Amino acid sequence: MRVAMYYNNRDVRVEEAPVPKVGPGEMLIKIMASGICGSDVMEWYRIHKAPLVLGHEIAGEVAEAGDGVRQYKRGDRVSASHHVPCNTCHYCLNGHHTVCDTLRTTKFYPGGFAEYVLLPAINVDRGVYLLPDEVSFEEGSFVEPLACVLRGQRLAGLRPGSTVLVIGSGISGILHIHLAQALGAGRIVATDISEYRLDAAKRFGAAHVFNAKNYTPDALREINDGRLADLVILCTGAPAAMNQGLQSVERGGTVLFFAATDKGVTIPISVNDLLFRNEVTLTSSYAGNRADHVTAVDLIRSRRVQVAEMITHRLSLEEAVLGFKLVAEGRDSIKVIVKPQK
């Protein structure tokens, strides 16, 4: 089979690899669409593991089901989780499935930028989601990223009528904007350094947008009845953006750290002024649990979250290197989808 082998963000090669053999409890998925995630181009994190096949936002059809697999059959249309929890440890039993040790060691093989992917038995057992007929494979590739966004807003306690500030309007920011709108947020404000992405933020629900170079908390107060944001969602790991977010949260509000940073980044926080006196909550979110994925499928099926309109580039496996370039540059793209089948 053909795979897109990652060496670095500028070197992604189409190579040949054997189609994985299916064992008991396992499944082989024919990949029809695979999204490029911002974490895929986090080069400092990926480079020491290269060469490898990336891609975890997948949708496809079951090509082969191993012995003992009864809930799925050849031809079923599915999305799948690359990481799955044990469901029995201290973390899982306390609702923190995404910090489970098992989740951090599970994955599928070799990765979504390939013609076929093998799901281990544990992933088949608790990380496969049937796609309704009205959900396309391209839309199905959004199930995993939308599940992550759902979990983030749930942990951050998004309430109807809240003022939400989304800092960074790449695909995760656009998903946060659109989901917040669907869940009844009041005023949604977005920032970015790209006018292309700010236009997208407006299309998907932001009432006001600011170029991040010109944004100030006072500008937010001017359009928000003198208040700052009840919920700030940081969809970029740039230190300047994080400082903007910390300065833009209202008393009693929440800051959700949703994006990874470069290695070793730290930020100063005034414990007295930000936390103690103003009761601000700082929280973070990583990945999504099974319930989040199931809910994501339903939100896509019902069109409450219209993900197909977010796709700006549909590329072949041979064009994957262009996709990595577009996502790494973060300017003139929203969602880049790789379609491995010829």
3-state secondary structure 260-328: CCCCCCCCCCCHHHHHHCCCCEEEECCCCCHHHHHHHHHHHHCCCCCCHHHEEEEEEHHHHHHHHHHHH
Compute φ and ψ for 28, nearest 5 degrees: -105, 125
Given a contact cutoff of 8 angstroms between Cβ atoms, the answer to whether 311 and 200 are in contact is: no
Q: Which of 293, 276, 47 is nearest to 149 (CA)?
A: 293
Residue 273's pLDDT is what? Answer: 86
Q: Which of 171, 153, 150 is nearest to 254 (CA)?
A: 153
327: Cα separation from own chain's centroid: 13
Compute φ and ψ for 47, nearest 5 degrees: -60, -35
Q: How far apart are CA 293 and CA 287, in angstroms?
A: 10
Q: Which residue has the tokens 């969809």?
A: 235
Q: Which of 28, 50, 21, 38 is nearest to 115 (CA)?
A: 28
Given a contact cutoff of 8 angstroms between Cβ atoms, the answer to whether 122 and 106 are in contact is: yes
Write down the pTM of the prediction. 0.97
**Full pLDDT tens readout for the chain, 342 residues:** 999 999 999 999 999 999 999 999 999 999 999 999 999 999 999 999 999 999 999 999 999 999 999 999 999 999 999 999 999 999 999 999 999 999 999 999 999 999 999 999 999 999 999 999 999 999 999 999 999 999 999 999 999 999 999 999 999 999 999 999 999 999 999 999 999 999 999 999 999 999 999 999 999 999 999 999 999 999 999 999 999 999 999 999 999 999 999 888 998 898 988 899 999 999 999 999 999 999 999 999 999 999 999 999 999 999 999 999 999 999 899 999 999 998
Cα separations in angstroms, 330 against 94, 168, 171, 299: 36, 10, 10, 26
Torsion of CA 153, 159, 165, 171, to 10 degrees: 30
Ordered domains of the chain (ranges, CATH): 2-142+307-339 (3.90.180.10), 149-284 (3.40.50.720)
Residue 342's pLDDT is what? Answer: 86
Residue 297: how many CB atoms within 10 A of its CB? 21
Q: Which of 70, 279, 48, 260 is nearest to 148 (CA)?
A: 260
Q: Report residue 107 as tokens.
A: 């994955």
